[in-house]
Every structure is written in C-alpha cells, then in structure tokens.
Amino acid sequence: MSGPFTFYEFFAGGGMARAGLGLGWDCLFANDFSPVKAATYRANWGEDHFHEGDVHDLTPDDLPAPPRGGAVDLAWASSPCQDFSLAGLRKGLEGTRSSAFWGFWRLVQGLNREGRAPRVIVIENVVGLLSSHGGADFTALCQALADAGYRFGALEIDAADFVPQSRPRLFVIATRAPVAADLLLPKPTEAVQGRRVCEAHARLPTALQARWLSWRAPQGRAAKTPLVDLLETNPVWHAPALTDRLLNQLSPLHQERLRLEREKAGRRIGMAFRRTRIENGARVQRAEVRFDGVAGCLRTPGGGSSRQFVIEVQGNVTRSRPLTAREGARLMGLHDSYLLPAGETAAWRVVGDGVVAPVVEALSAALLAPLLSARALAAAE
C-alpha cells in the first residue's frame, strides 16, 4: 500500500492512540468532549483535524474521506469506561458516559449507508465490558458489529507486558477484510486472548460465535524500561508525618511486605495506593504497597484509589511521595516531549484516562497493519 494508513480517533483524549500508531498512520479526524483533553491534544498534534464536542452532535459529513476517496482504514474508539469499570456502578452501555459509544456507532452506521464504513474498527475499554450486565452489553456490541457486516474478536492485553504499569484492557478488533491465516488461531485460547475473553465468547449466541475471529496477540517488549528509570531523580518527598500516616493505613499483609523489604540490602523502590475496603462491615481506607517493579493501574483524580505514591526503603528509613503526572505519562509510554497541562490535577485527567501507547504500537505492528495490507492487496487484485 502506498502512503500511510488513514484513521479516525474517537474519544481521543490526549491522542495516546495516535502516539502509539506512529508515523505510518495519518489521522484525518479526532474528537473529544473534555476541554482539558482537547487542549492537550491540540498542543501535541495540532487542531486542523480536531473537533471538540459531544460525539452525538457529529454527522458522517463531519468525517473527511481519505485523500484517495472511499473508506477510512481504521476507526479507533476508546469510549468512556466508567460505567463498565469494576470500580463504577456497572450501568453498562445504558450508562450516561458509556452510552457515548452509541453516538460513535451511529456515525459508523451512517458511513456504512454511504458505502464508506471503516475497514477496521478497534474498540478499547476496560475488561469489565465483557461481564457488564451478565455479558449482555458485550453481546449487544458484537451484534451491532455483525449487523454492520463485520467479523470480530477480542484480546485482553495488560500494559505490564510493555511498560511497568499493570493496566489490563480489552481490545475488540473488527474487520470486513479477508484475514490472513497467520493472524488467527483456530479457536479462542485463554493463554492468548485471556480467560475473560474466552468466557465472554462462550456466552455469545451461536450466530455471533460464527463471526468470531480468534486474533493472535501482539508480543510484549523483551526489554522494557524498568520502573525506577522512569522516576524523577530529584523529587520532593513527604514530610515524615505524612509518610507515617500513609504507612499506618497498611493492612497487616502489606505491613509484613514492607518489613521484608526493610530487611534487604540497598535502596528499594515500591509503589503504594489507597483503596477503600470493607472490614467487619465498615468501610476502611487502606494503603497497599508493591515492590515488584510495576505500578498499579493509573487513574484520573477523584476517588480513594486514584493517587499513587512512590515508596523508598533503605534499611529502617522509609520515605514516600506522590507519583508525578510526568512520571505517569512515562508509564503510559509517552516521551518527555509530550506536552502536559500545567497543573498536576489537569495533567492527571489526561494521563490517567488514556491508552498505553506501546500497546497500540504493538497491536498495529502485529495485527492492524498486516490486516490492512492484506485488505489493500485483495482490493488491488
């Protein structure tokens, strides 16, 4: 195929999917509702193709055709996940935020009627989508794809295979194109697609299972950057009283984990975050700590588990501090040249609500580019 692949990026946030897709892709249109994210997108990628506003207000006429005409190669949709998240109210696709997906899908249907539906669609969301409403939401999504003529499959990918951050996410990849055999497995496999994907596939009606594609998963990086190398070299640490307050919230299990680290030689770096737990029928805020070289899943500001802390242990001396938004951006696979909002809270609204760029890069190399190259070759023949 001559020239770059073309794509639309819906619910674009700060453009992290675009960062992952890289130079071989040409973004024709992007949108987001959030003013903070829109400003960040424009600062990093320009504004000539960006639309700030509600996806429900868009029409197919707002979506430009590729330079050679016809259909865009890819539509990427990282629709709001709060109503799918295990930490949310699990309202599913009927929830106020996640219903934005159907605004996106209305555009796909409109493009379909005009004969220019995207050749490939990627829908990225939290893994909770698979079980939301007992699996009914995932079935509704698959049915919508099938009704529009797509075949589809899904992968659960944890960003920890690419960056030192635990961030499992669901990627539904749908296509109308012929699919080369080397991109597929004979059937869903827990070791590749993930246990929860296989369970969701088993719950689908037979007609939808017949349209399922068992994608091969992209491989993680053999030598990803260690967590300690992504942290600031001259940070501002908490006052001892704040560190003590955080450590006093550790459960006995995590207090023991910290004690074992204190017995080891040298400087030890861990990550901590707060969670609300139910203990003896009461809600208790607890801190949890890990020293496995992986940060927990980054989140946007708000809620008891939104902020993460760096823990440094050297013998009996323990220090703590908040993880900075720039460090969070590095954990999302973004270079330091990526422009963040000036304030930490605003920066975390962008960083904590995106897709990990190296995961998108790997997905593009392993599946999207080969799939579209095969599609282009088939069309040429």
The tens place of each residue's pLDDT in the chain, 381 residues long, gives: 345 899 999 999 999 999 999 999 999 999 999 999 999 999 999 999 999 999 999 999 999 999 988 999 999 999 876 554 434 444 555 655 557 888 899 999 999 999 999 999 999 999 999 998 899 889 999 999 999 999 999 999 999 999 999 999 999 999 998 899 999 999 999 999 999 999 999 999 999 999 999 999 999 988 899 999 999 999 999 999 999 999 999 999 999 999 999 999 999 999 998 887 888 888 888 899 999 999 999 998 864 456 899 999 998 899 999 999 999 999 999 999 999 999 999 999 999 999 999 999 999 999 999 999 865 445 433
> Shortest CA distance to 217 belongs to which of 333, 119, 22, 362?
362
CB 288 within 8 A of CB 257: no
Place of tokens 């007609």: 207
| Contact yes or no for 279/331 (Cβ under 8 A) | no
Q: What is the pLDDT of residue 109?
A: 95
Q: Output the CA torsion sign for 305, 79, 86, 357.
A: negative
Please tell me the predicted confidence (pLDDT) of residue 306. 67
Angle at which helices 136-147 and 195-203 cross, to 10°: 70
Q: Quickly list DSSP for 222-280.
A: TTPPPGGGGS-SSPPPPPHHHHHHHHTTB-HHHHHHHHHHHTSSSEEEEEEEEEEEEET
Helix (H, G, I), strand (E, B) or coil at 300: coil
Q: What are the boundaries of each domain within the chain?
A: 5-220+355-380, 233-323
Token pair belonging to 84: 């799918």
Give the per-residue pLDDT at 35. 97
Burial 50-69 (b: 16+ CB within 10 A, else e): bbbeebeebebeebeebeee
Does the 5-220+355-380 domain belong in CATH 3.40.50.150? Answer: yes
Per-residue pLDDT at 26: 96
The predicted pLDDT at position 93 comes to 55
- Give residue 148's pLDDT: 96
Q: What is this structure's pTM? A: 0.92
Counts of helices then strands in the chain (DSSP H, E): 13, 11
Q: Beta 267-279 vs 168-175: how paired, if at all?
A: unpaired
pLDDT of residue 3: 58
